[in-house]
Structure 1
């Protein structure tokens, strides 16, 4: 009987299909590395690095307030004249700026910026309309950097009679330590 049971076990084992080999894990996909974005530098201002004191000493900015707001010393980009400007320092370091200009300066300023920073990462055009029904070209060109983005607009977001150049960092404000209904 034992012999018969042993033969049955051996026979069942011999007739059973071989266990399938565990398939090898697929090779991870090869994802090309994203092109590293360049660092931003405008007139020696480097985001989250250049201090207001350094910018004043280099005569890059003037008329600074205790709140960290200054103006550029030079009115112009390349050989194109510009209007008023605002340069903001947060926590004592350069954070963002805005420069106003004529909408007619859009192409010349764009060429100057492209000669320094290379091709823009985004170009867009949309139609703007004022309260009287007049339409304007809402051209925008953007250059992307590791620390933020530089946007040239033919017409300002707030005033179609002027163009603007803005740089904003990607830096987020510090989170609130205590939450209430006013800062949720």
Structure 2
């Protein structure tokens, strides 16, 4: 009887360990942010340039270096060429792409097809002026390392929307200027 209990407990522990390990590895792989052959914290700037995903990598950014996306389309619609930041370690860190608010639904649907259901959807009442306000949608997809945020309109500007990926990691301390005052904010 004792041998049967030990065998049963052992089988349960092995099964639980295997299931937990599989779930963790699947979650990690599925929940790592990737965009146009670039994987967050893995793809280097040099690799992204060699793949033809980015170009014009001479601009400094608070995280390291910034490049332009080579392709100025997203989900089949024209966009302003986005900016990709590579961290101090030279690896893909964040991105920002300006979109036309009229293309929001097309881009949202393509992102949902690529990344699955969003983790957040919000409708916002944006005040453009004292006389004018509009309804705007925000949708976000959550990843292990950050959030992909699609905003139909940026605050105070109904003429443009934005797609941003921001990592959970904080901005390095040296990137923040040491002297801010109420006049320089």
TM value normalised by structure 2: 0.72
C-alpha contact (below 8 Å) 2:79/2:100 kept by paired residues: yes
Selected match of 1:165 from 160, 163, 166:
163
Could you tell me how far 1:39 is from its partner in structure 2?
1.0
Could you tell me how far 1:131 is from its partner in structure 2?
2.3
Instruction: State yes or no: 1:109 paired with 2:107.
Output: yes
Judging changes above 3 Å, is the alpha-carbon distance between structure 1 residues 113 and 57 closer, same or farther for their aligned structure 2 residues?
same
Instruction: State yes or no: 1:47 paired with 2:46.
Output: no
The CA RMSD over aligned residues, in Å, is 2.3
Partner of 1:29: none
**Count of aligned positions:** 147
- 1:134, 1:58 → 2: CA distance? 45
Q: What SS does the aligned partner of 2:147 have?
A: strand
C-alpha contact (below 8 Å) 2:136/2:153 kept by paired residues: yes
- Choose between structure 1 and 2: higher strand proportion: 2
Could you tell me how far 1:72 is from its partner in structure 2?
0.5
Could you tell me how far 1:76 is from its partner in structure 2?
1.1
Runs (5+) with no aligned partner, structure 1: 1-32
Selected match of 1:133 from 131, 134, 137:
131
Judging changes above 3 Å, is the alpha-carbon distance between structure 1 residues 174 and 132 closer, same or farther for their aligned structure 2 residues?
closer
Equivalences for residues 8-157 of structure 1 within 5 A: 36=27, 38-67=31-60, 68-91=65-88, 92-157=90-155
- 2:51, 2:113 → 1: CA distance? 24
Partner of 1:26: none
- 1:63, 1:87 → 2: CA distance? 10
* Offset from partner CA, 1:30-87 (integer Å, 9 cap, x none): xxx9994611100012111111111111100011115211110011112122113111
Judging changes above 3 Å, is the alpha-carbon distance between structure 1 residues 167 and 85 closer, same or farther for their aligned structure 2 residues?
same
TM value normalised by structure 1: 0.72
- 2:115, 2:148 → 1: CA distance? 10
Bigger drift between 130-139 and 91-100 goes to 130-139
Q: What SS does the aligned partner of 1:114 have?
A: helix
- Choose between structure 1 and 2: higher helix proportion: 2
